[in-house]
Amino acid sequence: MSAHDVYEKVVGEIGYNRNEFLLQLRWWEILSIVDGYHARQHGLWESARLNAFLVMSATADLRKAGVTSDRALVRFPWEDDDVASEDQPDAEEVERLRQLMREENERLWKQNSE
């Protein structure tokens, strides 16, 4: 995902303030916002797939087509069993991110205390 794509997603689609995006947010915060936004969308996509399956099952014989469930109708990327482990953060990476967050919070605390 390019920087332009991320900007378009965070400012255009999610609705973050342009100045906040450009001047205040750190890159890891921006990526977390995008990941959270995608995670919130899962439920909507699941619901849409179930509705499509129910409508289609009422009007067509899906068993003849080999479709026995809504998941057989459409597979989403987050359902793939072949998700590479490198896509998931390991414990060391999570701890590094937590340390960065602690340092940033301490810096902001000191800055605001002065």
pLDDT digits (tens, 9 = 90+) for 32-45: 898 899 888 888 99
This prediction's pTM:
0.51
Distance of alpha carbon 30 from alpha carbon 110, whole angstroms: 23
Q: Is the pLDDT of residue 112 over 80?
A: yes
Q: Is the pLDDT of residue 83 over 60?
A: no
pLDDT of amino acid 90 = 64
pLDDT above 70: percentage of residues in the chain: 89
Burial (0-12, 13-18, 19+ Cβ within 10 Å), 10: buried
pLDDT of amino acid 85 = 46
**Among 86, 22, 80, 75, CA closest to 53:** 75
Query: CA geometry: angle at 47 spanning 46 and 51, to 5°?
Result: 120
